[in-house]
């Protein structure tokens, strides 16, 4: 008996140390998991700069997204690297200018044979290797052949359509090609052909909510790419006639509802505080508003590529900030890599920068001035921005030679002239030369 008591006394300190180490290890593991935030990118299609309440929308309300802006950072100088769908999505998911992926010209069609090369390293692959589950919900538009589809690009789950909703059963008379009814997939299985588009926003939202509720132990990345408000416009019966702006306003209000349902689910599940929610659009509007910007979708004027954007992370990003710092979707790849502690291959050449420190402390941090290049729908470099200056070198869309004459190099000070109305190229020839040389050199490298 005494022998046993002596052994207990001898071994108790050792046992105590073992227990403390075990508890510490468990705690450390839990903290590591908690330090990796869930990530949602809420990507709309053709939503203009002024198509959100907090950006001055007229005729409809967006209370959920306005509240989201109040809980994080709203950007006034946020850009996408293309004027249309396919190249913009390629840039977002690779962190690289679309020309690097050879997807910088026009968009992919149901008759296209190509897509985003499986050799490209996507955001989904990066986050998956960093310990995330990955899901693509909605519109893909980076190649409908199996090799280019989401499940071969780093996404564990895919629920949606392979290209734009206007390509549903469309006849391309110039090449005598009849596209099929819009395919709707769950992963690689075709589950519906020609879905009733008035329910697309609702279906995507319900799928996102379901995935959040049925998540596993890993942090998740959901890329929710809505089809709306790309034309043709569709809203569910619950939203038809809801706005004073007709069907377009109804569509935007349903998208706002979608964001609200997802945010509500995050809160109910107790994970809202540790979820990064990124809202933005793939390019400027076709039907909506880009006021006070000049131009629209498919144009390299500001209205074609400056878009609304909100980023929140309640536990980390301060509330109620409005930033005029220059940011673009190419920055999301390196930023999310840093925040999620995911690794980027050393040989991968990215065009975006890590803005994580700025997001965490926007009042104390500023971003370095850097050039941004505007590639037109025809694939050609048309403009460059550096700081307050934007130089247009040529113009393929958004300029009428018959009424306006041959396009000449045009320089605008965006700090003073956000609407690009006052061409000051003749007053600043040295800036025109500098930006022209920068643009030519960069394009030659690509």
Q: Are 220 and 38 in contact (CB under 8 A)?
A: yes
What is the rounded CA–CA span in Å between residue 206 and residue 188?
Answer: 20
Mapping DSSP to helix (H, G, I), strand (E, B) and coil, where does residue 309 land? Answer: strand
Buried b / exposed e across 3-13, counting CB within 10 Å, b at 16+? eeeeeeeeeee
The pLDDT, as a whole number, for residue 34 is 55
Given the residues 85, 104, 136, 245, the one annotated as active site = 85
Do 100 and 121 touch, CB atoms closer than 8 A? no
141 counts as catalytic: yes
CATH for 36-360 is: 3.40.720.10
- Looking at residue 414, what is its pLDDT? 98
Closest by alpha carbon to 191, among 214, 207, 210?
Answer: 207
Of 104, 141, 226, 245, catalytic: 141
The residue ranges of every structural domain in the chain are: 36-360, 380-445
How many CA atoms lie within 13 Å of 97's alpha carbon, on the beta-carbon side?
17
Rounded CA gap, 108 and 142, in Å? 7
Angle at 18 between CA 17 and CA 23, to 5 degrees: 100
State yes or no: is 85 an active-site residue. yes
- Is residue 408 within 8 Å of residue 400, measured between CB atoms? no
Contact partners, residue 301, CB within 8 Å, separation at least 6: 293, 294, 295, 398, 420
| 193: Cβ contacts below 8 Å, ≥ 6 apart | 180, 181, 182, 183, 184
Distance of alpha carbon 186 from alpha carbon 228, whole angstroms:
19
Three-state secondary-structure class, residue 12: helix
Beta strands 177-178; 157-161: pairing state:
unpaired
Domain at 380-445, CATH class: alpha beta
- Whether residue 229 is preceded by a cis peptide bond, meaning omega within 30 degrees of 0, is yes
**Residue ranges for the chain with pLDDT beneath 50:** 1-33
CA atoms within a 13 Å half-sphere pointing along the CA-CB vector of 6: 3
């Amino acid at each position: 008996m005494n022998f046993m008591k002596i052994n207990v006394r001898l071994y108790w300190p050792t046992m105590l140390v073992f227990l403390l180490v075990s508890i510490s290890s468990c705690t450390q593991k839990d903290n590591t998991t908690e330090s990796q935030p869930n990530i949602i990118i809420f990507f709309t299609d053709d939503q203009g700069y002024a198509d959100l309440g907090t950006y001055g929308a007229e005729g409809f309300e967006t209370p959920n997204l306005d509240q989201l802006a109040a809980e994080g950072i709203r950007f006034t100088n946020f850009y996408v690297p293309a004027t249309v769908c396919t190249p913009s999505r390629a840039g977002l998911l690779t962190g690289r200018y679309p020309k690097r992926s050879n997807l910088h010209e026009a968009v992919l069609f149901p008759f296209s044979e190509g897509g985003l090369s499986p050799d490209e390293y996507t955001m989904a692959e990066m986050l998956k290797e960093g310990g995330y589950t990955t899901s693509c919900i909605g519109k893909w538009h980076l190649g409908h052949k199996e090799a280019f589809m989401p499940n071969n690009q780093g996404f564990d789950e895919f629920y949606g359509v392979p290209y734009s909703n206007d390509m549903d059963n469309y006849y391309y008379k110039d090449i005598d090609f009849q596209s099929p009814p819009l395919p709707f997939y769950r992963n690689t299985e075709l589950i519906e052909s020609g879905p009733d588009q008035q329910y697309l926003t609702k279906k995507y939202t319900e799928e996102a909510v379901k995935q959040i509720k049925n998540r596993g132990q890993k942090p998740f990345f959901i890329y929710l790419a809505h089809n709306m408000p790309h034309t043709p416009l569709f809203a569910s019966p619950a939203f038809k006639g809801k706005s004073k702006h007709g069907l377009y306003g109804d569509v935007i209000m349903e998208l706002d509802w979608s964001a609200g349902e997802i945010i509500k689910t995050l809160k109910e599940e107790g994970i809202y505080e540790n979820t990064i929610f990124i809202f933005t659009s793939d390019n400027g509007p076709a039907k909506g508003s880009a006021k006070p910007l000049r131009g629209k979708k498919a144009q390299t004027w500001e209205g074609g590529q400056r878009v609304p954007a909100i980023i929140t992370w309640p536990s980390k990003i301060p509330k109620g900030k409005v930033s005029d710092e220059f940011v673009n979707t190419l920055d999301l790849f390196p930023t999310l890599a840093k925040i999620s502690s995911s690794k980027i291959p050393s040989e991968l050449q990215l065009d975006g920068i890590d803005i994580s420190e700025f997001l965490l402390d926007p009042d104390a941090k500023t971003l370095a001035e850097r050039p941004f290049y505007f590639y037109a729908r025809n694939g050609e470099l048309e403009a460059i921005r550096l700081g307050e200056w934007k130089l247009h070198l040529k113009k393929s869309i958004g300029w009428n030679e018959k009424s306006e004459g041959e396009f000449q190099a045009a320089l605008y000070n965006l700090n003073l002239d956000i609407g690009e109305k006052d061409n000051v190229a003749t007053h600043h020839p040295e800036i025109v030369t500098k930006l022209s040389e920068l643009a030519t050199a960069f394009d030659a490298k690509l």
